[in-house]
Amino acid sequence: MDDDLERQTIHLSIASEVSAFCPSPGFGLMFKQFVGESSCGVSGYLAKLLKADLEGLAEAAAIVSNGGVICYPTDTLYGLGCDPLNTEAVRRTKEAKGRGAKPMPILVKDLDTAERFAYVPDRAKRLAQRFWPGPLTMVLKAREGLPAILVPEGKVGIRSPKHPVCLDLLELCSGGLVGTSANLAGRTPATTAEDVQNQLGARVDLVLDGGPVPLGLASTVVDLTQSNFVIIREGPLGREELMNSLRNRKPR
């Protein structure tokens, strides 16, 4: 036990130095692998916690570009994600959460970006024009090219968040990020960066601290891949509000 404690103390000390002098965003992950501890398992290494300012956003985007996994603030809950087109990064994100085979949504900058990842029918455009950016996730038919591990059923949840930090991050990440809630499967979703660190700090490469999230409630999820309008998860937006929008508005 003493040897194990000493080894963990040494690793934490070295990890601190790595965070301070790391020459590239992926070096922290290399360190975890070097000491023989998976970034998707519990270890003595905790992800760097950065303020969500311009410098923090730039580092987060660089990590995503290099195949890393990050946590970041949104309007609803803290998000856990990566480049949605990077199969290995998606696999790491699922392992970090303990998600298994369940699909994960993609957060996008805007409706135009959404159409890069999914087929967007007219009624989805009506809803997006009314409720995006905001707490509405629409399940749509996924476009070809998305990793099968991300869209095992050929469908993908798409949402544009109403959070300036998250939108800036999405802009730096070419418009899209995997955006599942930042918590271990079955645990309470995180609403602060501290919550994220407590659950996922040893499983990701970076946590962006944008303060407490505004809503603290998961988004409403609707499935638009079927002819019927199906609400998969109740959230801030109610069925009547959504139906009124579909009846009263036309896509541009």
The yes-or-no verdict on residue 25 having pLDDT over 50 is no
Q: What percent of the chain has pLDDT over 90?
A: 75
Rg (CA), the chain: 19
Q: Which CATH class is domain 46-248?
A: alpha beta
The yes-or-no verdict on residue 30 having pLDDT over 60 is no
Residue 67 — left, alpha, or beta (φ > 0 → left; ψ -120 to 50 → alpha)? left
Give the model confidence (pLDDT) of 75-88 as tens digits. Answer: 999 999 999 999 99
> Which residue blocks in the chain are alpha helix, DSSP H?
2-21, 27-34, 54-65, 87-97, 111-117, 122-131, 164-172, 193-200, 239-248
Burial of residue 135, with CB atoms counted within 10 A of its CB: 0-12 exposed, 13-18 middle, 19 or more buried: buried
Give the model confidence (pLDDT) of 152-202 as tens digits. Answer: 999 999 999 999 999 999 999 999 999 999 999 999 999 999 999 999 999
ω into 133 cis (within 30 of 0):
yes
pTM, two decimal places: 0.82
Give the model confidence (pLDDT) of 134-151 as tens digits. Answer: 999 999 999 999 999 999
Give the model confidence (pLDDT) of 231-250 as tens digits. Answer: 999 999 999 999 998 887 55
Burial of residue 250, with CB atoms counted within 10 A of its CB: 0-12 exposed, 13-18 middle, 19 or more buried: exposed
DSSP code for 66? T
The yes-or-no verdict on residue 99 having pLDDT over 80 is no
Q: Report the alpha-carbon distance of residue 177 to residue 179 in Å, rounded.
A: 6
